[in-house]
Amino acid sequence: MTQKITVIRGDGIGPEIMDATLYVLDQLGAGLEYEFADAGIVALEKHGDLMPKETLDSIARNKVALKSPLTTPVGGGFTSINVSLRRHFDLYANVRPAISFPNTRSRYENINMITVRENTEGAYLAEGQEVSADGETAFSGTKVTRKGSERIVRYAFELAKATGRKKVTAVHKANIIKSTSGLFLNVAREVAAKYPEIEFQEMIVDNACMQLVMRPEQFDVLVTTNLFGDIISDLCAGLVGGLGLAPGANIGENAAIFEAVHGTAPDIAGKGIANPCALLLAAAQMLDHIGQPQNAERLRKAIVATLEAKDSLTGDLGGTGTTMGFAKAIASRV
Ligand code: ATP
């Protein structure tokens, strides 16, 4: 049986890394059918809209999208496309694995963790932001809800359960921010009680940052509120050697969008030298999500084997390979 997914080829290096990724997925025989949809600068030029209705309809219909990086033009009143997508589909869980791969700039050899960041509330509210008329005082609100906390913590535990992970760490600052972070922590404890088979740990965010840098191997799944999650997931990407190998997923009840964490890399666009690994790893997350964990694992193992063999690595990994050459080396190992 084939599964249809929406594919957004994106801007800058987007089309190059997407072609490479689809090539590997085809070799994997994952039975995917691609419905191509425009977004970003390409869509603005063709349809006069950064995120055309047809693209939103395609994602709503297929419920799963694989997306390359997009450019949101600076100024002109454009809202970030990623933020609009999150809002439109209520993609409440931002899921970012951080794994140390061989022959990369990873700081450690034994990191394998996932950050689950709440994506829709917390300190990221557009409303309630104020600067006083004299410019001397600024104010911004933070909103945490029981519903928002419950669904994100439940997502983290369900993910741990589905992927055989053993521990969930809730990262908070409830000792100081007693209202919002306190509510998040209380709800996390309630949800954790329903998963006795998975170890639950609580950690204050400042300590979590220190522990992540000093002993990252102790972490398995981290779950936290929006702002802490934003910072921690980039910290984790840095621990495993930067954004070239960092995938991410934005997941809601009715849609899920899988992407590379890096941007459009205009400095190397069109040269065929971008590293396709982040998008390939996002594709592996997508395969897990659509019930193909064995194919996801085959893909990850092929990436690891190719890195181990230093076969056709791209420039950012110290090689001289091309995007498609690297993809073919990975495809030959799936
Ligand atoms: P954007 O404005 O879209 O965020 P950016 O250039 O500011 O683009 P990134 O696209 O994340 O930010 O790129 C940061 C640096 O990392 C650039 O030098 C870019 O060439 C490099 N880079 C990003 N992604 C890749 C990749 N997949 N392969 C190789 N280098 C990459």
Give per-residue pLDDT as tens, 251-265. Answer: 999 999 999 999 999
Query: Does 322 contact ligand 1 (Cβ within 6 A)?
Result: no
The closest alpha carbon to 218, from 228, 208, 231, belongs to 208
Give per-residue pLDDT as tens, 210-255. Answer: 999 999 999 999 999 999 999 999 999 999 987 889 999 999 999 9
Angle between helix axes 81-89 and 53-62 (nearest 10 degrees) is: 50
Query: Does 316 contact ligand 1 (Cβ within 6 A)?
Result: yes
- Which numbered atom of ligand 1 lies nearest the CA of 69? 3
pLDDT of amino acid 109 = 92
Residue 169: other Cβ atoms inside 10 A: 23
- Which numbered atom of ligand 1 lies nearest the CA of 11? 3
Q: Which residues are known catalytic residues?
A: 124, 173, 206, 230
Give per-residue pLDDT as tens, 112-165. Answer: 999 999 999 998 877 778 999 999 999 999 999 999 999 999 999 999 999 899
Give per-residue pLDDT as tens, 117-132. Answer: 999 999 887 777 899 9
Query: Does 275 contact ligand 1 (Cβ within 6 A)?
Result: yes
